[in-house]
Structures are given as structure tokens and as C-alpha cells.
Amino acid sequence: MVKRKGLSSLINFIGILVLFLVMRSAAANSVSMNTLFIQIGYSIIMAASLNLACGYLGELPLGHAGFMSVGAYTAAVLTTKFLPQTSAVYPLALVCGGLMAAFFAFLIGVPALRLKGDYLAIVTLGFGEIIRVLINTVFSPLTDGGKGLFGIPTYATFTDTFIVTVLCVAALYMIVRSRHGRATIAIRENDIAAESSGVNVANYKIRMFVISAFFAGIAGGIYAHQLGVLTAAKFDFNRSIDYLVMVVFGGMGSLTGSIFAGSALTIVQYLMASLVEYRQLAYALLLIVMMIFRPKGIFGRWEFSLTRLLARFIPALRGEPKNIDRLNAEAVRPDIPVYEVPADTPVLRTSHLGIRFGGLQAADNVELSLSEGEIVGLIGPNGAGKTTVFNMLTGVYQPTDGDIRFLGRSIVGMKPCEIAAVGITRTFQNIRLFKSMTVLENIEVAFQTRMHDNLADALLRTKRFRRAERGARQRALEILSVFGMQDMADQRADSLPYGMQRRLEICRALAAGPKVLLLDEPAAGMNPTETHELMETIRVIRDRFGVTILLIEHDMKLVMGICERIYVLNYGSVIAEGTPDEIRNNPEVITAYLGKNNPVNEGVGGATC
Amino acid sequence: MLKVEGLNVYYGAIHALHDVSFEVKKGEIVTLIGANGAGKTTILHTVSGLVRAKSGKVSFLDKDITTTEAHNILKMGLAHVPEGRRVFSQMSVQENLMMGAYARKDKAGIAEDMEMVYTRFPRLRERYRQMAGTLSGGEQQMLATGRALMSRPSLLMMDEPSMGLSPILVSEVFEIIKAINASGTTVLLVEQNAAMALSIATRAYVLETGRITKEGSADALMHDDDVRRAYLG
Amino acid sequence: MKPATFLITFINGLQLGSVYALIALGYTMVYGIVKLINFAHGDILMVGSYVVLFMLTTVFAAQTLLAKIIAVAAAIIFCVVLGIVIDRVAYTPLRSAPRISALITAIGVSLALQIIAQLIFGSEQIKFPAVIINETIFKIGKKPVKSLPIITCIVSVVLMLLLNLFVNKTKPGRAMRAVSEDMGAAKLMGINVNNTISLTFAIGCSLAAVGSVFYAQKVGYVKPLMGSLPGIKAFIAAVFGGIGSIPGAVLGGFVIGMLETFVNYFASEYVDAVVYGLLIVVLLVRPAGILGKPMREKV
């Protein structure tokens, strides 16, 4: 396995070297070629870094050129005014430019990324406009304001641009193909499910946004040191759009696409340099037509692999399927937390729990208590507040009254990802899987809080990273095999049949190693046979994973069949609590919920809904 | 009254309905039963024009409506109570009912039907100015049903009317469906709760992974071994 | 600031606010119904003013009152048709696509409109003829109060009241609300959803066309990129008031207009920075906007 891995790296290295030599020989004899190649270099960095925020994270930043300008000015001001006049300082200047851009992204991102969807687009657009104003006013002692910054040393050469571009793209690739990348894609696919699986959504959004800006800053530095002159007006909205077009055209979520489109469109720009208006019109129409007819872009989310390409022609390069291969290597599994349940303390207990939405009291004075290893039902009419209780227990909603204690400790005020880490996970009424990810990846996302390799490990592909990845894969396969789903590991989650999707959600919830598992209508949409199997599964889960289960369900046969205790909720309050027998015969429950002629009482037919 | 022949529907690459054929005669309650994902809702969506069929034919009152647009199908007398009720939660109960009569122009008739709906569902009358979003699940189901009746349909299609309701309300909803049918409206009912659906239906079709696998009188299916095992538990 | 200056600035703020409010209404209505930030909306403003310019300079020899009325009517009609065509060609095919696709398309449409205008009329700014009488009505101290700001405010407020009446009290208005809440259910009510959406675009664009006359006359010129800035400001106004809310757009328009005019008086180079800053603060404190309803995703 190590051999194969090493071989693949070697192939890629040789591939890049060949490309370098070919391009250098072309650039050596032509100034215009040289210029073009440098332009292609920073365009690729811009497109690929924007792709991280846009294609992988699923946000739409419209001020990427703003970050480029920050990087460009920072690096240029340093080399022109402060640092010694030698090209040795160029790398330092580039990194400083990147860091400054990252800093600005952090300032913008912290407020903006708390918002959903389109707002980030607008805030970043605003940033792109403000930053130009600031460069020309507040920062003008450094930037020379509106008249432009002249005399920037032209350090950028083909060779160093090529190296920087390769490094940047490689770094982005390493980030995307790691647990951090998985978390990022999970956020794009379903942020609520990602958060409830232990992904710190806010943190990851900021991180990826900042990383994206960092690389844009580096690209800006190259730009400045190629041109030798900077004016703020160059970094306008249209420039941001140019890079967005590259990302969209190449494929949102494909670095290959960004490289391709970054090169191709830069060449088009170069050839059409004298026809700016027509080029812009072509861009605009391209955007529209692309979105309507091929919204995925040219490459969709596909990535090019030189090894894979060569393997087509050279059979010796074809390895075994990688999963099996890796199972024999050294691995570090994700942690399985050990919970100590203090004596005489319920695993989970709520007191006076309540929440109010505007004027509506959705839950009031809810008192639940779960003992270790119990299976408890939560039933009640639609709109009674059952899911609201789940949302409070998992931190999706913050209660306005009362307390929630998990293993004796209050968890009110924690974020959903923290609650997942502490040991409470859930499934959702309307299935929330990470649809375009594989079954295996869906589960791996939930190891988020149980893995220890950091971003640096991922970037450098350290031993710790490889071990942790292998361990995650192994554990995920183990969990799948409990449910008989190991053969589906590499399928896309949304290609599974409905019943399997519900199961996968349970697998994902278990992957985080919870003490308490909350199941929201696990039998919804299942026929009696499937429901029967599910009852068995729930018992197995409890015994095998040592979890305490609270479930919401309308199927009375399931609830009465497996729950040891039941809470009945009506209009946001608990109206009864007891064993299935007690609940079945409770007059208040019969009037409010079950009804007199209920099949549960008579044992005929099935109230399946 | 409603006739569906050889219907094929695709969602992208997924073949959701395979050669589905069935019919609903005047005055009947016909029910489609089957597991989640079998294609029951897709059938209703195709009939009411929300989804386009790849091939096959849908005719209503002897007119081909396969390619007719949703808003015109309603005008022909075919109303659809969607899954999950879908009431307009930011509008009052009264406004929701008015929306049901959107396609009609006869003011007198509308007022008459409004009165009829309020008589049938006294709870809606009590809350006529309340925002629909603040109603309970059962009340929303009544509102959705009443809203559909406001178009004075000759065929009413109902998608999972018992979904998410407490057992006590489920029985009530089925009583209402029986009453609507008794007053002359033909009903096509899609239900998870096969036992309840079969108990009020005239005829039924069983749907499995996009194909109709069984059909017959509700009585016969109620006693069919396969159906009992798979859907009645 | 002297009281007289204050009053004049205040009136100018109302004037700018009215224009922003007119444009913001288009953003908010379209967003309410198809959940799309119609980036091209600001450019409709630009198109409207070019149409007026074209009518008054190329089509008509003399700028008579009749010519002016016809020019404004032509601008409204042209913008309405353009808005509907844009929706049908570029946005309708993407109705069920991810939001980001529609947003990118809207950016594409915006760019296309700007560049087409540039290809036809050139990129230089052209003087805009006086369409609305702008005489001094009275004086506060030595400062004249002109008729343009006053007419702008009155016309805008009347249009907004009419719009409010339309949306809440008429059958098409109810249909718009129904479609914005649940498109599928609206179809089942017999509502022609595409026509309703077209109607929304038409109303938004006609308001923008009216706004274009006021705006172009205020700034005194037209140019291909003139729509972006008021477009973005109006969008900020819509977000400020609560996107999707009609009263919110009006409130937001006046607040932004007023703020911009006063900041402009003291430190003109910081106007944009202050407006964007306000946007960021509002989004931080109250993401749903001042009059918007907080959206709670159903879990």
C-alpha cells in the first residue's frame, strides 16, 4: 500500500515537472508568453481558492477581488517601501499579503457567515466596494491613494509563479480531501445535520472563508509584482465576477475545473484584450447559458488523476480497491467516549423546560427524565411540541425557560455541535443526509469530534493524518456492518432506498459515540414489515452501543411494543407519563390523543400514522 | 371519470412510475395504497399537472388532460389536497378558503360554498380570522380539505390526510371523507394507513416501486393474504 | 448645521429615499415570490433612463409635455416587457435549481444589460434632459426648495400606497401572496404561477422605471453603469427593512436615503462605507431586517 501511495506521488511529481519544463521552454523565448503564464498562475489560484468557499462550502462570495487587492497592496507596499530591494523578500511579501487578506476575511466573515445564503454574497460584495474606498482614503499614506502605487519591483517570474501555483492548488486539494474537507462539504449539503453531527459549522465556515481569502491574497501579491503598478479601481466587481465565471465554468467543487477554466479563460482574455466589451458580454452570456444548460460546469465535481489516466494504459499501475488495501495498515480509530453515569442520576433530565416563539408557547414546563439504558417514547398530536423538545435537547433551539441536565451537568446554551460532542445525537423527521456524499463519508463526518488530526496534518499528509483516516474508515465500515449496509459504503447517500436512508441516519447518529440517541419518527413512511424490523433494530442498538433512547413516533404498535416508558405531550405540556399499559388506559390520553376506538386498545388493524 | 393509462414518470434518471393504469368511476372512493416511495404521491402530482409524464395518458371526464397545466385542471373540477396540507400559513382561515375559490367567478356560489364548508367544519368558523399557521394539525387538515371543496370539485384527490395526526383525529378525518363522498363528490385517496383507507374505500390499487401490482374491491384486498402481510401488519 | 441647511438636506434625503424605496420594492417583491436576489434590477433603472433619453432626443424633436409623458410611458412599458422577458428566458428554467445557480444567472443578466447598453450608447455619460418641472417653490432662509424632490416624494408615496392596496385587497395580490408562500399549493388553487411571477416582475420593473426618471434627473446624466450603485443601495434598503416585506422596503429606502444624504453633507467620501457598514450592523443585530419575520428553518 505504501508503495502504491509513493508511486502515485512520484507519478504526479514527474507529471508536474514535465509540465514545468514544457512551459518554461515556451516562456523562455517570449516575453508575452511569460506574462501570459504568470497571469494564468494567479488566475488559477484565484479560481481554486474561490472554489473552496463557493463550490465546497456552498457560499457565494462576491468580493474575491477585494481580498486579492488587500494581498496585492500589502505585498507591494512591503516590497516597495519597507523591505530591502531584493527578490529574496518576495516570498515573505506574498505570505504577508495572504495573511492580511485572511485577516480581513476574518473581520468580514465573523458577522457575515452567521447569516444564511444570499446575505454573505451581499456583504462580500459590499466589502469589495468598501475596500477600494478605504485604499483610496484611509490607507492612502501607504497605498498612495487614487493616483496609484508605482515602482513596485517586478519580482514575479515564471518559475516562482509556477511553484507557488502548484503549492497553493496542492494545499487546497489536501484540505478538501481530509476530514476538514468532509466537514465543509457536509455543511454545503445540510448545515443543520452537519452541526448536529458534531461539525462546528460557524467555525468551519470562517476557517474555509479565511483560507480562501489567504490564497486570494497570495494571488494578489503575484499580480502586483508582475505589473509593477497598482490602482484600486482594478479590483472591482467585474474582476470578482471574472473569477466567479472561472469557478462556475470549470465546475463548482472541482479543482481540476478551476485549473482548466483559470487557464482557458485567461488565454481567451489575452487573445481578446482589445475587445473588452465583447469579452464581457460573452462572459455574461456564458454565465447565463451555463447555469441554464449545464449548471454543474464542465467538470462538475470530477477530479483529474494522472495515476488513474496512466493506469488505463499501463495495467501494472492498477491497484486493488483502496478500502481493502488500507485495512491492513496501521490505524488510529476515532475515540469512543466513556460515560460515567453518577449514581442515582438520570442520564438526561429536563426541568421546567419551555420555549416561546414570539407569542406562541411551543413547550411549557416539560419534565423528562431518562435512566441509563431505557427506551422511552414521546408521543402526542401533531404540533404538540415533540420535535421542539428534541430541538431544545440538541441545542438547535435555545429554551427560554428551565434546564436540561445531561449526566448531571447543564447543557443549556451549548451549540448543537457541542451537545453532539458531549454525547447526545439525533435523527431527523425529514431525513437530512449529506446527499451527494457517499454512505461511508456520511458516517465519517460524524467522527468530527472524535478525531485528532489537525489541518496541518492534512496539509502535510502526516502519519497521524493517514492513521486517523484509516481508522475512521474502519470504524465507519464496522458501524455499517451492524446494519448490514457495508456493501453500500461507496454509494451516494441519496441513491439509497428510503428505508436504508433512515437507517443511515441512525448509523450517522451512532458514529459520534453518543450516550443518548434521539430518534424523530424513525418509522415514518415504513410499512408494517419494515416497522417490525425497525423495532428489533432499535433494541439491538440499545444493547450493542449502550445508548439510552428517546423516540418520537406516531406508530402506536412500535411505541407500545418497545418503549419501557412513555411521555405524552399535548399543547406543549406533558399530560401523562407511564408504562405503555398505564398510558393506554389513561383517560386523559384517550381523550386527547388515542381515542376510544383505538386499535391499540382492541388489537385490530393498525394505526400506522 | 378519471382514467390513467400506461403512465410513465421519471425524476431525472429515476423511473418513478412504470406503466401505471387505473380508473376512478363517478361516486366511488378509490384508494391507492403502498409503501413510502412507491409512487403514490407522484401519481397524484401527475394527474393534477404538477409533474409531467414521459408517456401515457390521463383523461378526466373524457378529456385528455395529460399536458394540461395545473391551474386549468382545477377549473375542470379536479381538486387536490396535497400531502402535509400546505395551507397558506400567513393568511387567515377565511383567506385560505377564498384561495380555494380562486378560479371561480360566481360570487353567490362562493358564498354558498363557504357557508357549506363552515357548516361541515364548525371549528373553522370559530377561527375564521386566525392565521392558518397557528392552527393545530387536525384543524389544518380540515382547512386544507375545506379549501379544496371551495373549488366545488367533482373529484377530490387527497394525499395522506391522516399523516401526523393523533389516532383520535385519524378516525375523524376518515369520517369526514365518507361524508364528503356521500354528498356526491368522488374521492381518490392515497394513504399509508391502509387499514383505515380500505375500510372506507369502494375499490383499491396496490402500488409497489412504481407499478400497480394488485387491484380489486376494497373488501377483497382487505382479505388478500399478501396485502394483509405487507400493509395491514 | 443650520436649521435651513438641515431642512433642505432632509428634503433631499426624502427624495433619494423615495427613489431607493421604489427600487427596493422591486427587489423585495421578487425575492418574496421566487427567493431570488434579482441583481439585474438596478440595471432596469439604467435601461429606463436610457429609454427616456432616447425618446426625448432621438424620437421627438421637441421636448413638449406630451413627448415627456410618452417617453416616460415608453420607459415603463419597455422595462416591464424587459423584466418579463428576463424572467421567462433566464430565471424560469432555473426555478427548481439551487439558489446559487439562479443568483449567478442574475449576475450574468446584470452584466449583459450593462454591456449591451455600453455597446449601443457608448460608455460615456450623457446629459439627461429635464423631464419633471424643477422650479423653486419657496425658500427656507436663502435656500430654495425645488419642485423635483417634492414631486418625487409625492408620486412615490402614492405608488406605494397603491401597491399596498393591490397586494392586500385584490385577487391578483392574494395570488401573489399565495405563490410567495407555497408555489405548489398555489398551483393547486388554480393560480397560474408563471403569470403571477411575471406580474410581480412587471410591477417591480414599472416602479423601477418611474424611479429611473427621478434618479436620472437628480444626478443629471445617464451611463451604462449608473444602475449598479442605486441598485445595491436599494437592495441594502430592502434587506434593512426585511427582505420580502413591502413596508420594510419603503422604510429601508427612506432610512438609507436619509443616511446617505446626511453623511454626504459631512464626509462625502465615506458615504458608501457608512451604508455598507450599516448593512453589516443590521445583519448582525437583526438578520431578518427591521420589519421582516425571522425565518426559522423547520427541523
Q: Hey, what's the cell of A372?
A: 441509563
Identify the pLDDT of residue C299. Answer: 65
DSSP label at A139? T
Residue range A532-558: average pLDDT? 92
pLDDT of residue B205: 95
Q: How far is CA C167 from CA C29, C62, C193, in A?
A: 10, 39, 16
CA–CA separation, C271 and C253 (whole Å): 15
pLDDT at A301: 83
Q: Could you tell me which chain B residue has the CA closest to the CA of A595?
A: B168
User: Looking at residue A508, what is its pLDDT?
Assistant: 96
- Name residue C3's amino acid: P
How far apart are alpha carbons C44 and A178 in whole angstroms?
45
pLDDT of res. A319: 60
pLDDT over 80 at A576, yes or no: yes
pLDDT value of residue A597: 57
* Model confidence at B86: pLDDT above 60: yes
Q: Tell whether A289 and A387 lie within a shared domain.
A: no
Answer yes or no: is pLDDT of A609 > 80. no
CA B114 – CA B120 distance, rounded (Å)? 10
Residues A259 and A365 in one domain: no
Residue from B42, B46, B69, B71 whose CB has the most chain C CBs within 10 Å, to mutate: B71
Q: How far apart are the C-alpha atoms of A593 and A609, rounded to whole Å? A: 12
Q: Which of A207-221, A528-542, C285-299 ranks highest by mean pLDDT?
A: A207-221
- CA–CA dist A262, A250 (Å, integer): 8
The residue among C60, C53, C106, C48 whose CA lies nearest residue C221 is C53
C-alpha cell at A341: 453515569
Q: What is the distance between the alpha carbons of residues A457 and A17, in angstroms, rounded to a whole number?
A: 25
User: 3-class DSSP state for residue A283?
Assistant: helix
Residue type, A202: A
Residue B92 pLDDT > 90: yes
Q: B103 in a domain, yes or no?
A: yes
Question: pLDDT tier at A601 (50, 70, 90 boundaries)?
Answer: very low
Does residue C294 fall inside a structural domain? no
Average pLDDT of span C11-22: 95
- A599 pLDDT more than 60: no
Query: CB of C277 within 8 A of CB of C286?
Result: no
Residue C49, CA distances (Å) to A411, A540, C54 in order = 59, 71, 8
Q: Is residue A528 part of a domain?
A: yes
- Residue C38 pLDDT: 92
CA C237 to chain centre: 10
Mean pLDDT for the stretch of residues B116-123: 92
| CATH classification of the domain holding A566 | 3.40.50.300
- Total domains present in chain A: 2
Q: What is the pLDDT of residue A117?
A: 65
pLDDT in tens, C137-149: 888 888 888 899 9
- pLDDT category at A183 given cuts 50, 70, 90 is very high
Nearest to A111 among C90, C235, C280 (CB): C280
- Note whether residue B141 is domain-resident: yes
Give the residue among B99, B140, B143 at the shortest CA–CA distance from B120.
B143
% of chain C at pLDDT higher than 90? 65
Q: Among all chains, which residue has been given the C-alpha cell 429606463?
A: C48
pLDDT > 70: what percent of chain B? 100
Mean pLDDT check: name the lowest of A127-131, A385-389, B165-169. Answer: B165-169
Contacts of residue B230 in chain A, CB cutoff 8 Å? 527-529
- Per-residue confidence at A1, pLDDT binned at 50, 70, 90? very low
pLDDT of residue A527: 74
For residue C175, the enclosing domain spans 14-285
- Angstrom distances, CA of residue A556 to CA of A63, A525, A577: 54, 14, 15
- Are residue A300 and residue A407 in the same domain, yes or no? no
Q: Are strands A375-379 and B155-159 parallel, antiparallel or unpaired?
A: unpaired
Look at residue B39 and tell me if it is in a domain.
no
Supply the mean pLDDT for chain B: 91
The lowest-confidence range among A142-156, A170-184, A300-314, A453-467 is A300-314
3-state secondary structure of C207: helix
For the segment A536-558, the average pLDDT, to the nearest whole number, is 92
Residue A604's pLDDT is what? 35
A323 assigned to some structural domain: no
Chain centroid offset of residue B134 CA: 23
Distance CA A541, CA A503 (A): 11
The band of A480, judged by pLDDT with boundaries at 50, 70 and 90, is: very high
Q: Do A264 and A206 have their domain in common?
A: yes
- Is residue C297 a part of any domain in this protein? no
Contact yes or no for A80/A153 (Cβ under 8 A): yes
User: Between C272 and B73, where is the model more confident?
Assistant: B73
Q: Do A352 and A301 share a domain, yes or no?
A: no
Total number of domains in chain B: 1
* pLDDT on residue A324: 44
SS (H, E, C) A395-413: CCCCCCEEEEEECCEECCC
CA-CA distances (angstroms) from residue A464 to A254, A451, A459, A511, C205? Answer: 26, 10, 12, 20, 59
pLDDT category, A309, cuts 50, 70, 90?
confident
Q: Do B49 and C190 touch (CB under 8 A)?
A: no
B164 and chain A in contact, CB less than 8 A: yes
Mean pLDDT of chain C, nearest integer? 91
User: How many angstroms separate the CA of residue C5 from the nearest CA in chain A?
Assistant: 27
Q: Average pLDDT for residues A272-277, to the nearest whole number?
A: 77
For residue A80, the model assigns a pLDDT of 95
Q: How confident is the model at residue A327 (pLDDT cuts 50, 70, 90)?
A: low
Q: Are C253 and C24 in contact (CB under 8 A)?
A: yes
How many Cβ pairs within 8 Å bridge chains A and C? Answer: 118
Q: Name residues 182-221 of chain C within 8 A of B (Cβ).
A: 182, 184-193
Between A273 and C166, residue with greater pLDDT: C166
- B62–chain A nearest CA distance, Å: 34
Contact A291 C37 (CB under 8 A): no
Please tell me whether residues A374 and A279 are part of one structural domain. Answer: no
Of A608, A602, A600, residue with least CA distance to B231: A608
* Integer angstrom CA distances of residue A70 from A87, A135, A243: 20, 9, 16
Half-sphere exposure in the Cβ direction for A218 (13 Å, CA)? 28
Determine contact, residues A353/A402, Cβ cutoff 8 Å: yes
User: What is the predicted pLDDT for the residue at B13?
Assistant: 73
Q: Which of A279, A308, A337 is the last residue of a domain?
A: A308
Total count of domains within chain C: 1
Q: Count of CB contacts below 8 A, A vs B?
A: 94
**CB atoms A554 and B193 under 8 Å:** no
Q: How far separated are the first and last CA of chain B, in Å rounded? A: 33
**pLDDT surpasses 70 at A358:** yes
Residues 36-75 of B with CB under 8 A from C: 48-50, 69-72, 74-75
Residue B138 lies in a domain: yes
Q: Could you tell me the CATH number of the domain that includes residue C20?
A: 1.10.3470
**How many whole angstroms separate alpha carbon C226 and alpha carbon C42?**
8
Strand, coil or helix: B5 = strand
C-alpha distance from residue A515 to each of A355, A376, A534, A542, C148 (Å): 25, 14, 20, 10, 70
Q: Do A270 and A395 belong to one domain?
A: no
**Which positions ≥6 away from A6 have C-beta within 8 Å?**
none
A117 Cβ under 8 Å from any chain C Cβ: yes
- On the question of pLDDT at A2 being above 50, the answer is no
Instruction: Look at residue A603 in the predicted model and tell me its pLDDT.
Output: 36
Its domain, for residue B113, covers 78-152
C187 and B49 within 8 Å at the Cβ level: the answer is yes
**Which chain C residues have a beta carbon less than 8 Å from that of A134?**
273
Residues of C in contact with B79 (CB under 8 A): 188
For residue C205, the model assigns a pLDDT of: 97
Domain co-membership, A95 together with A144: yes
Q: B110 lies in a domain? A: yes
In chain B, DSSP assigns E strands to 2-11, 14-24, 29-34, 55-60, 63-64, 78-81, 155-159, 186-191, 203-208, 211-217
Which has more confidence, A366 or C280? A366
Supply the pLDDT for residue B80.
95
Q: How far is CA B224 from CA A149, A225, B32, B151, B198, in A?
A: 86, 81, 15, 37, 12
Sequence-distant (≥ 6) Cβ neighbours of residue A295 within 8 angstroms: C94, C97, C98, C101
Q: Is A86 on the interface with C (CB under 8 A)?
A: no
Residue A468 lies inside a defined structural domain of this protein: no
What does the alpha-carbon distance between residue A377 and residue A552 come to, in Å, rounded to a whole number?
A: 6
> Distance (Å, rounded) from C-alpha C168 to C-alpha C165?
5
Strands B29-34 and B186-191: parallel
pLDDT of residue A73: 97
Residue C296 is assigned to a structural domain of this protein: no
In this predicted structure, which of A112-116, A305-309, B88-92 has the lowest mean pLDDT?
A: A112-116
The three three-digit cell numbers of residue C114, written as one number: 450593462
- Taking contacts as CB-CB distances below 8 angstroms, the residues of chain C near B48 are 188
Identify the residue with better confidence: A295 or B211.
B211
3-state secondary structure A313-337: HCHHHCCCCHHHHHHCCCCCCCCCC
Residue B35, in any domain of the structure: no
CB spacing of B71 vs C190 below 8 angstroms: yes
Chain A residues close to C232, C-beta within 8 Å = 125-126, 129
Using an 8 Å Cβ cutoff, are A325 and A4 in contact? yes
Range of the domain at A561: 348-436+495-602
| Cβ contact C288:C31 at 8 Å | no
Instruction: Give the pLDDT score at A605.
Output: 36
Q: Is A430 an interface residue toward B (CB < 8 Å)?
A: no
CATH number at residue A60: 1.10.3470
Closest residue by Cα to residue B170 from B141, B146, B203, B205? B141
Question: What pLDDT is recorded for position A598?
Answer: 53
Cell numbers for C28, please give them: 423585495
Q: What is the DSSP letter of A374?
A: -
> How far is A416 from A424, CA to CA, in rounded Å?
9
Segment A133-158 shows an average pLDDT of 90
Where does the pLDDT of residue C212 fall: very low under 50, low under 70, confident under 90, or very high at 90 and above? very high
pTM of the model: 0.85
Cα angle A530-A531-A536, degrees, rounded to a multiple of 5: 95
Residue A153 has pLDDT above 50, yes or no: yes
